[in-house]
Structure 1
Amino acid sequence: MKPSMFNIAQLYNDNILLYNTYSTSLVEIEPAIYNRIFIDGNYSDHKDEIDALFELGFLVENDCDELSEQELLRKTVIENNSDKIANIIIAPTMECNAHCYYCFEKGFRKGIMTRETADCLIQYLFEHWNHDELGITWFGGEPLIATEIIDYIVDGLIKRGINFSSKITTNGSLLTESVIEKIKSKWNVEKIQITVDSIGEDYNKIKNYSDLENPFEIVMQNIELALLNDLQIKVRINFDPEKKQTVVNTFNYLKDRFKTYDNLSIYFAPIDEDSSIVKNINQNFTEMNEHPYISLIKFGRENKLFRGFPDVENDINKNTSPRIALLKKLKIFPSPTNCYATCPSVYSIDSNGNIYKCHRTLGRKEFASGDIFNGIKKNSEYEFFCNTDLAYDECKECAVLPICQGGCKINGRIFSGKEACAPCKMIINNLILLYKQDLDALYERR
C-alpha cells in the first residue's frame, strides 16, 4: 500500500485537510495519524482509518500505476470519439475592427471567406456532421464583419437539411438591430459571448478600434439592445493579473447598468500570455498579499458570479450532484482530457477553408491539418493534439494532473514558461479551502 500521488494536504483547524484530485475525496485527519500513515508509511495501526482512506482513494495498492491510469483515460477519449462532427468553430473572416494588445491572432488577420469556399464548407459539413445536431461557434477575427457569408452558410445548411444551433464570439461593436434580427430569425443562436475588458476610455484604448467614435458606449448600447431582444449574453472580462481593480470596476459597472436583465451572465478569465505587458497567471505574485486569481474568485463568489457558471442552487435543482456542482465551479473536478482539441473529430476552420485542431492557431497555415477541399490530414500537427502526451515532464509528478490532464498543449508549445498549466494549479490549496467552506454550508442547510 502507498499514498496516492494525487493527494494534496494542508493544515486546517489544527488538523490536516486532505483532498485527492482524482477521487475528489476530502477528509480532515489528525496530524499524528496523518504522519504515521502518510509520512512514516505505517499501515499496521488504525486499520479502520486505513481501510476508509483506501476506499476514498488516498491510499492505493503498491502495484497501482496512477500515471498509466490517467493516460488510459485520455486514450479512451481519443479512441471513443466519433468520426462525425458534433461541434465546430468557424471563422468566416479573420479580419477584425479591434486591435487588442493581447490578441493571439496578431499578424494572422486576412480575408473574408468567399462563396466558393463557403460552398465547399457546406458540402464538407454535410458529409461529416453527426446527423443529430451540429453545434457551430462563429469566431474570428470579428465574425460580424462577415454577416453576408454567415447568411450564405446558414442558407446552405438549411437547404441540406443540417440541423444546427450556434453561438457567437464577438466584440459586440457590430451587434446592430439588423444583425440581431438575423440572429433571432435565421442563425439559431443560443448564446453570444462579448468581451468587455474595461470601461470608458480604458476600454477604448485596449480595443483600439479602427473606425469607431466612442466605441465603449456603442458596445454598451448594443448589449442592451440584445438583452431587450431576449438574447442570452455572456460577457467575458479578460484580465491582467496585476490589474485586479479593473475587473472589479468593470463588473460593478456592468452589474449596475444591466441590473434589470436576467439574461446576462458575466465571467472573468486571465489573459493567456506571458510577456513584458502581461504577467501569466501561473506565476507567483509574492508582491501581493493574495494571489490575484483567488482574490478575484472570492470577489466573484461574493457577487454570485463565478466564471460564467450559474449559482450553486441552479445546479442543485438539476440532476447534478451538489458536491460535483461545487467542484466544477471551482475548476477542481477531474477531467478525462486536457482539451477539446484532443478529440479527432473536433476542428476549427478559417476563412480560407484550412482545418485546425485548435482555434488558437487559426490563420497560421503551419498549424493546419488539411482543408475542407481535400479533407483532414493526419499530419504532425494533427498528431500533436490527438495523443495522450503531457505538456511537460513535470506533469508526471504533479498532483493536479487529473484536473488538467497535462495542460494546454498549444500554450506549452508557443510560450517558454508554465503557461500550459491549469490556472487552478497556483491556487489549488485556496480552492480546496473554498470547497470545504461550501460543503460545510451545504450540509448546514440540510
Structure 2
Amino acid sequence: MKQSQYNISVEQNGEVFIYNGVSGALARVPKDVYADIQKRSADGGENLEAPVEILERLALGRMIVPDSADELAFLERRYNISRGDKSRLSLTIVTSLGCNFDCPYCFEAKHPSIMDADVQQLVLQVLKDKAQELKTFHVTWFGGEPLVGKKPLLTLSDEFMKCCESADIAYSASILTNGYLLDEETCSQLQARRVTSVQVGLDGPPDVHNKLRPLAGGKGSFWKIVKNLHTAISFFDVSVRINVDKGTFRRIEDLLRLLADEGLAGKVSVYPGQIVGDNVNTSAPSATYEGHCFTNPEFAVAERTFFRMAEEYGFATPSLPRPTGAPCTAVRATELVVGSKGELYKCWNSVGNRLEEIGNIRDYQNTNGRLRKWLKYTPFTNDECRSCIALPVCMGGCAHHAMSSNNYENRCGTFRHTYQEQVSAYVQSATSHSGSGFLIPPGELSRRIDTR
C-alpha cells in the first residue's frame, strides 16, 4: 500500500494527526509509528512493523491506499455520480427579484417582480414530473429578497409539502435573507413550512453595515436585523454572513463584540464572505461601492484571523471541510435556479442577468446552449486542480469564477491556501480526547460526504 496524496499531517505533543480529504477522516497515531510508516512506505512498505490495528484504521480512513489505487479516478467517479444523481432534486427559487435593500456591491440587476400564480404552478409541475424517481427534494429560497415575495413562498411551500408527502419524498428548505423582514410571525410561518436554516447578512458594526446594507431610500437596517436575530434563533439554525473587504475587515471585532454583548454567542454562527470585484453590478444606479477587494490568497489569510476572533467571542469552533462530489447547483445536472418570472439559470450569481438565462420554466426541459458550459465544466481537465491537495473538498470550486478571465483566481476555496493552518487549528481544539484513534471517526464518513 501507499500513502494517500490527499493526506495532511500535523504533529502535536508526540503524536501525529492525519487528515484525509477524500474520506474526511482525521486519525491520530504515535509519532514513532508514523515515522516508521513514512520510512517504510518510501521503501515499498517492506518490513513495516506498525501495529495492525493502526494500519487498519489508516486504511479505513483512506490515509493509506493500495498501490494500484487511482485516487483521481475515484474522485472523478464521485463527482460524476453526484452530478447526475436523479434521486435528489434541488431548486433555488427567487420569489422576488425586487429587494427592500440597496446594497452598493450587489451583483444582481434587480427588477421589482414577485412570482405570480402561473409561474408557481409551473414550478410545482417540475416537482410532480420528477416525483416518481425522487427520494429527496430541497428548496433554497433566494432573491432579491425572498421575504418581499413571502406570499408565493408560503403558497409554494404548502404545495411542495403536500406533493412530497403523497409521494414519500423527504422535503426540506432553507432561506437566504437580509433579515429585515424576519419577524416572529414570519419565523413561525417559515418553520411550519420546514425551513430549518437561515442565513442573514451583517457587514460590520452599525456605521459600517448601514452604509453597505441600507434600506432602499438610505435608512439604516442594522438594529432591526439584530432584533430579528433574537427571534429567529428560537426557530432555526441561524448563520450570519459578514461580507468583508480590506477596509471593512478592520471592524470585524467591533461587530463580534457587539453581537456577544447582545447575548448571541453560541446561538448563531458567523462566517466571512469574500466580496469579489467582478461580481459588483457597476451598472446599477446604486453602484457606489468603492471597497478594495481581497485576492483569494489574501482572503484565505484573513479568514483564519476572522475565525480566531469568532472563536474568542463564542461564535465559532474550528472545523474541517467535508469531502464533496459536484460542489454546487451550477454543475449539478438535476438542479435549477428559478427566477421570479420563470426564467431559468444554473448559478446564483447569474440571477437577473438575461445573458445567463438557460431557458424558461414554461418549457424547462428544452434549455438553450448556455446550459452546456455548466454541465461540461469539470476540474479534472485542469492540471492545477488535478495536482491540488484541496481537490477532494473543493472539486474545482466556483465554476462561475472559473469561467471568468478576470475572476479565475477566485474560484478556489480557502483550504487550498491555508490547509495546514486549518488542520492544526482543528487538532488543537479536538485533542481533549485521549488515546490513539479517529478524532473524526470512520462511522461518520458517509454522513460527511456531500454527494448531492
TM-score class normalised by the smaller sequence: 0.7 to 0.9
Instruction: Please state if 1:175 is matched with 2:185.
Output: no
In the other structure, the counterpart of 1:433 is 424
Query: What letter matches 2:121 in structure 1?
Result: D
1:405 matched residue in structure 2: 395
Q: Which residue of 1 aligns with 2:291?
A: 277
The percentage of counterpart residues that share the same residue type is 20
CA contact (8 A) 1:238 1:269 kept: yes
Change (3 A) 1:278 1:10: farther
Give the Cα separation in 2 of the matches to 1:61 and 1:189: 44
1:390 pairs with 2:397: no
Q: TM-score, normalised by structure 2?
A: 0.76
Report the equivalent of 1:421.
412
1:159-238 counterparts in 2 under 5 A? 165-176=172-183, 179-180=186-187, 182-183=189-190, 187-211=193-217, 213-226=219-232, 230-232=234-236, 234-238=238-242
Shift of the alpha carbon at 1:423? 1.7
- RMSD in angstroms over aligned alpha carbons? 3.7
Cα drift, residue 204 of structure 1: 0.7
User: What SS is found at the alignment partner of 1:92?
Assistant: strand
Q: Contact conserved, 1:271 with 1:280, CA < 8 A, in 2?
A: yes
Query: What is the Cα deviation at residue 45 of structure 1?
Result: 5.5
Conservation of the 8 A alpha-carbon contact between 1:18 and 1:28:
no
| CA displacement at 1:357 relative to structure 2 | 2.6
Conserved 8 A contact 1:18-1:29: no
The Cα offsets for residues 65-112 of structure 1, whole Å up to 9 and x where unpaired, read as 221111111122234x12663x3221011111223233232x254522
Give unmatched runs, 5+ long, in structure 2: 279-289, 438-452
Q: What amino acid sits opposite 2:296 in the alignment? A: N
Q: Distance in 2 between matches of 1:158 and 1:340?
A: 22
Opposite residue 88 of structure 1, the aligned amino acid is: L
> C-alpha separation between the residues in 1 aligned to 2:30 and 2:277?
37
| CA shift in 2, pair 1:212/1:183, >3 Å | farther
User: Per the alignment, do residues 166 and 376 of structure 1 end up closer, same or farther by CA in structure 2, a change over 3 Å counting?
Assistant: same
Deviations 1:45-66 (A, max 9, x none): 6522498397364554444322
The 8 Å contact of residues 169 and 193 in structure 1, kept in 2 or not, is answered as yes
CA distance in 1, matches of 2:137, 2:323: 27
Aligned-partner Cα distance in 2 for 1:271–1:422: 11
Deviation (angstroms), 1:298: 2.4
> CA separation in 2, counterparts of 1:374 and 1:249?
50
Tell which has more relative contact order, 1 or 2 (C-alpha 8 A, sep 6+). 2
Runs of 5+ unmatched residues, structure 1: 312-328
CA offsets per residue over residues 239-283 of structure 1, 9 Å max, x none?
Answer: 326444433222221232244x98x42221322525683434631
Cα pair distance change 1:254/1:174, threshold 3 Å:
same
Within 5 Å, give how 1:25-36 maps onto structure 2.
25-26=26-27, 27=29, 29=31, 33=36, 36=39
Query: How many aligned positions are there?
Result: 411
Q: Which one of the candidate residues 435, 438, 442 is aligned to 2:433?
A: 442
Secondary structure at the residue paired with 2:324? coil
Task: Give, in whole Å, the separation in 1 of the partners of 2:158 and 2:13.
Answer: 62
Which string of whole-angstrom CA distances, capped at 9 and with x for unpartnered residues, describes residues 354-380 of structure 1?
222322222223333332111234654
Inter-CA distance 176–334: structure 2 relative to 1 (3 Å threshold):
closer
1:230-309 map, 5 Å? 230-232=234-236, 234-240=238-244, 242=246, 243-259=248-264, 264-274=267-277, 277-280=291-294, 282-284=296-298, 291-306=301-316
SS, match of residue 269 in structure 1: strand
Cα distance change, pair 233–122 in 1 and its aligned pair in 2 (3 A): same
1:71-90 aligned within 5 A: 71-79=76-84, 81-82=85-86, 85=89, 87-90=90-93
Secondary structure, aligned partner of 2:407: coil
